[in-house]
Chain A
Amino acid sequence: MWNESIEQKINSVTCPGCGLSCDDLSITFAGEQLLSLENGCEKARSFYETALKSSDPTPIVDGSPASLDQALASCTTRLAQSNSPLFAGLATDVNGMRGILELGDLCGATLDHLNGDAMFRNLRVLQDNGWFTTTFSEVRNRADLVVLIGKQWFDGFPRLVERVLNPQDALFVEAGQRKIVLLGPWSPDSLPEDLASINPLLIPMENESIPDAIALLRSLIADKPVPPTRLGEQTGELLIGLASQLQQANYSVISWSAAEFDVPHAELSILGFVELAKTLNEKCRSAALPLAGTLADITSNQVTTWQLGYPLRTRLQRGYPEHDPILNRWQGLIARGESDLLLWTSSLSPLTPPPDSEIPTIVLGHPGMSFKTPPSVYIPVGIPGIDHHGHWYRSDAVCPLPLSKLRRSKLPSVADIANLLSRQLLTASGVSERGVRC
Chain B
Amino acid sequence: MLIKLAGATVYDPANNIDGEIRDIYIRDDKIVATPQTGETIHQTYALDGKIVMAGAIDLHTHIGGGKVNIARTMLPEDQRGSARARTELTRSGGGHAAPSTLSAGYRYAEMGYTSCFEPAILPVNARQAHMEMADTPMLDTGGYAMLGNDDLLLQLIAEGAEQQTINDYVGWILKATQCIGIKVVNPGGISAFKFNQRALDVDDLHSHYQISPRDIVRKLSRALNELSVPHPLHVHASNLGVPGNYRSTLATMDAAEGFPIHLTHIQFHSYGTEGDRHFSSAAADIAEAVNSRTNISIDVGQVMFGQTVTVSGDVMAQHANHRHAHPNKWTCMDIECDAGCGVVPFRYRDKNFVNALQWAIGLELFLMVDDPWRIFLTTDHPNGAPFTSYPHLIRLLMERSFRNDLLSQINPDAAAASHLQSLDREYSLYEIAIMTRAAPARILGMTDRGQLGPGAMADITVYHPGGDPEQMFERPMLVFKAGQPIVEEGRISQPVAGKTQVIRPEFDEDIEKRIKPWFDRYQTTAMENFIISDDEMAEGIGSPINIHPCRQSS
Contacts and interface: CB of A to CB of B under 8 A. Distances in A.
Interface string B521-539: 1111110110001011011
Given A102-B91, A130-B331, A138-B334, A12 B524 contact: no
Given A12-B528, A435-B497, A389 B540 contact: yes
B76 A402 contact: no
A273 to B, nearest CB: 15
A41 to B, nearest CB: 15
A390 interface: yes
B140 to A, nearest CB: 13
B101 interface: yes
B72 A309 contact: yes
Interface stretch (B1-9, B52-60, B125-133): B125-133
A24 B526 CA distance: 7
B135 A287 contact: no
Interface in B47-82: 64, 66, 68-70, 72-74, 76, 78-79
Contacts of B540: 2, 95, 389-391, 402
A260 B533 CA distance: 38
Given A2-B533, A435-B495, A309 B85 contact: no
B138 interface: yes
Contacts of A305: 69, 72-73
B98 A163 contact: no
A306 B72 contact: yes
Interface stretch (B178-186, B335-343, B398-406): B335-343
A319 B87 CA distance: 8
B125 A123 contact: no
Interface in A287-316: 287, 302-303, 305-311, 316
B271 to A, nearest CB: 24
B100 A434 contact: no
Interface string A389-416: 1110000011111100000000000000
- State which size class the interface on B falls in: 35 or more
Nearest to A322: B83
Interface in A77-128: 94-95, 98, 102, 105-106, 123, 126-128
Contact of A130 (B99, B329, B535): B329
Contact of A399 (B124, B495, B536): B124
B417 interface: no
A71 B332 CA distance: 47
A401 B128 CA distance: 9
B17 to A, nearest CB: 32
Contacts of A3: 539
A306 B135 contact: yes
Interface in A43-70: none
Interface in B119-151: 122, 124-125, 127-128, 131-132, 134-135, 137-138, 151
Given A135-B333, A309-B103, A391 B91 contact: no
Contacts of A399: 124-125, 127, 336, 525
A135 B333 CA distance: 8
A250 interface: yes
Contact of A134 (B88, B131, B334, B528): B334
Contacts of B277: none
Contacts of A398: 66, 122, 124-125, 128, 333, 335-336
A323 B528 contact: no
B300 interface: no
B528 A126 contact: no
Interface residues of A, number: 75
A109 to B, nearest CB: 11
Contacts of B343: 130
A282 B554 CA distance: 50
B527 to A, nearest CB: 8
A435 B137 contact: yes
B105 interface: yes
A133 B333 contact: yes
B440 interface: no
Contacts of A390: 540
Interface string A117-159: 0000001001111111111111011100000000000000000
A319 B92 CA distance: 7
A251 interface: yes
A300 B95 CA distance: 20
B491 interface: no
A398 B333 CA distance: 10
Interface string A164-183: 10001111100000000000
A23 interface: yes
B334 A169 contact: no
B553 interface: no
A281 interface: yes
Interface in B508-554: 521-526, 528-529, 533, 535-536, 538-542
Please provide the 7 A-B residue pairs with the shortest distance between their CB atoms, ordered closest to farther.
A438-B137, A309-B100, A320-B83, A435-B495, A130-B331, A2-B535, A12-B526
8 contacts: A1-B535, A12-B529, A133-B331, A137-B337, A137-B338, A138-B334, A310-B79, A401-B529
Given A105-B92, A321-B94, 19 more contacts: A1-B539, A23-B526, A137-B522, A138-B336, A141-B337, A163-B524, A164-B524, A171-B522, A306-B135, A309-B93, A310-B72, A322-B83, A398-B333, A400-B127, A401-B127, A402-B529, A402-B536, A433-B88, A438-B497
